[in-house]
Structure 1
Amino acid sequence: MLVNLREILKLAEEKHFAVGAFNTPNLECIHAVLHAAERLNVPVILSHAQLHEDVAPLAEIGPVMVQAAKMAKVPVCVHLDHCEKLDYMRQALDIGFTGVMYDGSTLPYAENLANTKKAVAMAKGYNCGVEAELGALASREGGASTGSGPVYTDSDEAVTFCAETGIDALAPSFGTAHGIYKSKPVLDLDRVKIIAEKTGLPLVMHGGSGVSPEDYRTGITNGLRKINYYSYMSKAGVQAVKTLLEAENVTFFHDLALAAQNVMEADVEKALRVFNGL
């Protein structure tokens, strides 16, 4: 069942859980996420990150994601993640995406504010909610280092930003990072609580892979309603392929793809159980 970002975050707010948002650059990822969500009977978000354009062009994978969401037995939002170009966002909206994230976090505050307002105005004519980011993680989407530490989100600035842009969800910076963690992340979860209380909006955790179950639970209690998760799911798929190739002489590629899908599905289910308090 295809729903928009506002609707799925409302479900999370009402029942005090976080919706898992998973990048799905191929069919195996889509199946892994939806099969796990349907088994647990929980809502979920299928995401396409702009940086995956070379891996899976939006024009090709986007309609597949939307159709899969429509056929799903649980509420599914199809979301554009870390979009830095408004014309790219327009493509997603025209395809039928029901959530978009404009990412102006590397821009000066005034420019991020102005572009986010444009993104909100653009999405108004569609059945679509808008997420934005304020502050900056220590790494960009995909795990590439920014060359500096995180820029933590100021709570008062967040209030002004949310009020002036009219966004539906905010991704603050509070110590997470994209990609594979080399050491245990130290999260400022009190900052999450303060920003959630001051803005009154559902908050989003980016760089969600590799966070401990305890920190997930505290973050959800403090106002996180969407958790982005991909790196460790994808890593699990790679390891499954390596294990199969070491165990037997594989002839057909689809056997490798299915092995990856099954292990990614198990990893997604494990994450969803934590996010949904199951």
Structure 2
Amino acid sequence: MLVNTKDMLIAGQKGKYAVAAFNVYNLETAQAAVRVAEKENHPVIIALGERYFDTVDVEGFAALVRVLAEKASVPVSLHLDHAYEKQSIIRAIRCGFTSVMFDGSKFDLEENMRLTKEITEIAHMAGVSVEAEIGSVARGAFSDEEEGDGTLTDPQSAKTFVEETGVDFLAASIGTVHGMYTGEPNINLDLLDEIRELVGIPLVLHGASGTPDEIIKQTIAKGICKINVNTEVSLAATSYLQKAFEQDQNKAAHLSVIMASMQEAMEPVMTKFVRLLFAAKA
């Protein structure tokens, strides 16, 4: 069933668990995410980034995910990830996304609040929930996200931001990175505590790939309800493809077989995260 992401996260907040938001790029990644969610009996968020709009037909993809969701035995939501342009957000709303993220983290606080409030008003009129970000998640290895400066979220600014904009969930920067870490992870859990004390809405963690399991569990215990996963899933797929072509250099492997096997290669990674995020359920 297709549901609003806000409802999904409020349930997670009450149950003290988090929902995985898997970044997808094609049919196979979407199918893998829904299949794993059904096997684990846990909700899932299908997230498509604005940066993929040039290679993915958004309207067609939304229709595809809606059908997958309608057939699914667990709640599924469709989320627009890291959108910077208002027109992209309007396009996603029109074709059925149940939540959108406006990323105004490159602006100062006042401008970020002004733009986010405008987006929130538009989305809420359509019954669509909104994620926003203050602070900036740095870019690690193997990531194709925008470069962030790693600025951590200021708790008082987060409180003001939520009050002024009316957003439904907030991405907090506490030291994780987009992609894989190039050194030891330095996650500021005390900062997360401070943000949680001042902000009542569900909190989001970007940058789960490579983050130690124990740290992820602690972030959930401290109020994280949505965790974005991208790079580890991507690496599982590309590693499979590389090995497949190396082993079959002299064979004409059919594309349908390769894509089906690639989907299977992603599923164990997704399963690991779904189980990890649900393990903290009270």
Would the TM-score normalized by the shorter structure come out above 0.5? Answer: yes
Distance in structure 2 (CA, Å) of the matches to 1:187 and 1:63: 38
Q: How does 1:64-143 map to 2 (within 5 A)?
A: 64-139=64-139, 142-143=144-145
1:3 aligns with 2:3: yes
Which consecutive segments of 4 or more residues in structure 1 shift more than 6 A?
none
**SS class of match (1:13):** helix
Residue 264 of structure 1 is aligned with which of 263, 266, 270? 266
One-letter amino acid of the counterpart of residue 176, structure 1: T
Written as runs of structure 1 = structure 2, the 5 A alignment for 1:224-263 is: 224-248=224-248, 249-263=251-265
- Corresponding residue SS for 2:178: coil
Could you tell me how far 1:250 is from its partner in structure 2?
4.3
Q: Which residue of 1 aligns with 2:165?
A: 165
Letter in 2 for 1:131: E
Alpha-carbon distance in 2 for matches of 1:160, 1:125: 22
Show the 5 A alignment for 1:191-230. 191-230=191-230
Q: Which residue of 2 aligns with 1:12?
A: 12
Distance 1:179 1:144 in 2: 11
Tell me, which stretches of 5 or more residues in structure 1 are unaligned? none
TM-score scaled by length of structure 1: 0.95
The answer on 1:33 being equivalent to 2:49 is no
In the alignment, the residues of structure 1 paired with residue 258 and residue 189 of structure 2 have an alpha-carbon distance, to the nearest angstrom, of 39
TM-score (norm 2): 0.94
Q: Alpha carbon RMSD of aligned pairs, Å? A: 1.5
* Cα separation, 2, equivalents of 1:120 and 1:245: 46
Within 2, Cα distance between the matches of 1:7 and 1:126?
A: 15
Q: What CA distance in whole angstroms lies between the structure 2 residues aligned with 1:78 and 1:27?
A: 14
Offset of residue 246 of structure 1:
2.9
Partner-residue secondary structure (3-state), 1:124: helix
For 1:60 and 1:180, how far apart are their aligned partners in 2?
31
Unaligned ranges ≥5, structure 2: none
Q: How many residues align?
A: 276
